[in-house]
Amino acid sequence: MLNSVVFDVVIGLVFIYLLYSLLATTIQEIIASHFAFRSKILERAIFRMLEDDNKFKSRFKSFFYLFKKTGNGGEPKSVSSGFYKHPLIKFLGDNKPDSKPAYITKETFSKVMVDLLRGDQVNPGDDVSTLIQKALDEKKINWGVANIPEQTLSYIKSIWADSEGNIEIFKKLLESWFAETMERATGWYKKHTQMILLLNGLVIAIVFNVDTIKMINKLEKDPKLREQIVMQADAFAKVHPDLDKQLLQQKTDNEKFMSQYTKEELKSNDSLQNKIQEDSLNLAKYKDIQARRDTLLQRADLIMKRDISNVNYALGIGWKTAVCKPFDLKCFIMSFIGWFITALALSLGAPFWFDLLNKFMKLRNSVISNTSKEKQVK
Question: pLDDT category, 291, cuts 50, 70, 90?
Answer: low
pLDDT at 285: 43
What's the mean pLDDT in 169-189?
90
The contacts of residue 162 (CB under 8 Å, 6+ apart) are 169, 173
**177 and 157 Cβ atoms separated by less than 8 Å:** no
DSSP annotation of 291 reads H
Give the model confidence (pLDDT) of 320-361 as tens digits: 666 677 777 888 888 899 999 999 999 988 888 888 888 888
Residue 6: the pLDDT is: 83
Per-residue model confidence (pLDDT) at position 276 = 33
* Top-confidence residue, 291 or 31: 31
- β partners of residue 140: 147
What's the pLDDT tens digit per position in 77-103? 788 888 888 888 877 766 554 567 878
| Full DSSP string of 6-56 | HHHHHHHHHHHHHHHHHHHHHHHHHHHHHTTHHHHHHHHHHHHHH-SS-TT
Q: What pLDDT is recorded for position 255?
A: 46
Q: Which conformational region is residue 36 in: left (phi greater than 0), alpha (psi within -120 to 50 degrees), or beta?
A: left
Q: Is 304 a residue whose pLDDT tops 90?
A: no
The residue ranking higher by pLDDT, 293 or 171, is 171
Confidence of residue 188 (pLDDT cuts 50, 70, 90): confident
Domain ranges of the chain: 5-371
**What is the reported pLDDT for 33?**
78
* Average pLDDT of the segment spanning 36-59: 77
With vertex at residue 110, the alpha carbon angle to CA 106 and CA 115, rounded to the nearest 5 degrees, is 150
Which of the pair, 362 or 313, is modelled with greater confidence? 362
What pLDDT, on the 0 to 100 scale, is given for residue 199?
92
Residue 210 CA to residue 44 CA, distance in Å, equals 36
pLDDT for 161: 93
pTM, 2 dp: 0.69
Cα(55)–Cα(48) distance, integer angstroms: 8
| pLDDT confidence tier of residue 171, bands split at 50, 70 and 90 | very high
Closest CA relative to residue 18, chosen from 235, 292, 322, 334: 235
Buried b (16+ CB within 10 A) or exposed e, 297-330: eebbeebeeebbebbbebbebeeeeeeeeeeeee
Summarize pLDDT for 206-248 with one digit per residue, the tens.
988 888 988 888 888 888 888 888 888 888 777 777 676 666 6
What is the overall mean pLDDT for the chain?
Answer: 75
Nearest-10 crossing angle of helices 106-118, 167-207: 130
Predicted local distance difference test score (pLDDT) of residue 261 = 31
Q: Work out the percent of the chain whose per-residue pLDDT is above 70.
A: 67
* Residue 262 confidence (pLDDT) above 50: no
Mean predicted confidence (pLDDT) in 36-65: 76
Q: What is the DSSP letter of 317?
A: -
Highest mean pLDDT among 130-144, 157-171, 257-271, 292-306: 157-171
pLDDT of residue 201: 92
**How many other C-beta atoms lie within 10 A of the C-beta of residue 290?**
10
Q: Quick one: pLDDT band at residue 286, thresholds 50, 70, 90?
A: very low
